[in-house]
Structure 1
């Protein structure tokens, strides 16, 4: 395999300023891709860009806003050419018992975790079709493959993202564009730390006890590392992965099989 198998490819990663998104950007850059980092916080994007090669473009964007998405993708196109690798990573989780899940929370989970991926994919797809090559990777969750209590809205959104992945993979199967999802289990990120604090507050347990509860769900007895998710995403973006499409790959130490 070439040491830079993605050289010349323009990859756009949403939610790229931290956690899994930052790790994905690093992996794609090391494979030679030119990067557009997209996120809501400019400072986080700038900090991440400082650790990447020179050909890195930044776009501040709320992926739930169609006008902002259109502007961001036009900016990325002008800076680095058509996006041929899209990683829909941006996401958010909030937990509530179903009876306390408000319509506002429900809609917010759908907008951030599903509608945002829909808008970004629609914005990127014309360029991929024009070039005749593309990779779309949706960062879903094991919550897109099974149920978890107290996160019904999040589970619904991530199941929807897996469904979108499979439907679009079939539409594009003869267009030299693959569409896949990676489904991480509990991953060591800032988002997880916030969830641990929320669990501790609501259950009366310590954060250490809450962490133990989550690691017990993983047969390997540990949390997933962002770099492990990033390596799976990179693999799906490589030229040699052309036969892989419509898949939802669990990265969870055997939690989901």
Structure 2
């Protein structure tokens, strides 16, 4: 883990910060001196991982009122948000002909609406400062289509479009907007998807895991700390000209 104090005094907000990529990012930012608000749906999970400098608050990114109130309270407690990481998301594959509107709307509400609401509310205080970094955790599915996951891919493409437009809106200010697009990462999501793929395809869990591993060009799962390292670069010194970009972390060209 990279350790320095370049972010001392900065307030960061990370949705989905209690597990996986979000937690790795939170731990990295705390190590750099930031005050970090982490959100997720379960307070008990957040409480179990929060350390000094990390503050867990239950929030469902699908619910506008919760997002508005939670972010306002975080700003009141810890000052303006200058690092906003829209990370909360769900990743479930389903063939289009089996996709009903309930599934579609929940995916969009979590991945795309959640990112929009989080960024919109964070900008309220960020715009009052002279520096800000906004990062959306998208996916390689936001760069190219993924078989059997049209809904998920559409939500992740939408996140990239949101970030690209915002980078144009705030061009030349002290704020930058970028997306990180990991391949398959070693998290609980992969564990759940391994079981789901095995059940749907009638194959072993070992073979199902192999399908995901082999999708990454270097034939291994990406580690959460690797994604956090990319975030460190995007919020660190010298990052001011990195704007409107999609950083792919999948072991090779996609």
TM-score normalized by the length of structure 1: 0.96
- Aligned partner of 2:166 in structure 1 is 168
SS of corresponding position for 1:115: helix
How do 1:46-85 residues align onto structure 2 when only pairs under 5 Å count?
46-49=47-50, 52=51, 54-85=52-83
Unmatched segments (≥5 aa) in structure 1:
none
1:206 Cα offset (Å): 1.0
1:215 Cα offset (Å): 1.4
1:182 aligned to 2:180? yes
SS of corresponding position for 1:131: coil
Q: What is the alpha-carbon distance in structure 2 between the residues aligned to residue 27 and residue 112 of structure 1?
A: 24
Equivalent residues of 2:135, 2:179 under 8 A apart: yes
Equivalent residues of 1:147, 1:155 under 8 A apart: yes
Instruction: String of CA shifts for 1:188-207, please: whole Å, max 9, x gaps.
Output: 10011000100000111111
Count of residues in Structure 1 that have an aligned counterpart in Structure 2? 253
Q: What is the alpha-carbon distance in structure 2 between the residues aligned to residue 187 and residue 3 of structure 1?
A: 25
How do 1:1-257 residues align onto structure 2 when only pairs under 5 Å count?
3-49=4-50, 52=51, 54-256=52-254
Equivalent residues of 2:30, 2:53 under 8 A apart: no
Q: What is the alpha-carbon distance in structure 2 between the residues aligned to residue 166 and residue 143 of structure 1?
A: 16
SS of corresponding position for 2:56: strand
Unmatched segments (≥5 aa) in structure 2:
none
1:56 Cα offset (Å): 2.4
SS of corresponding position for 2:219: coil
Q: CA RMSD in A?
A: 1.3
TM-score normalized by the length of structure 2: 0.97
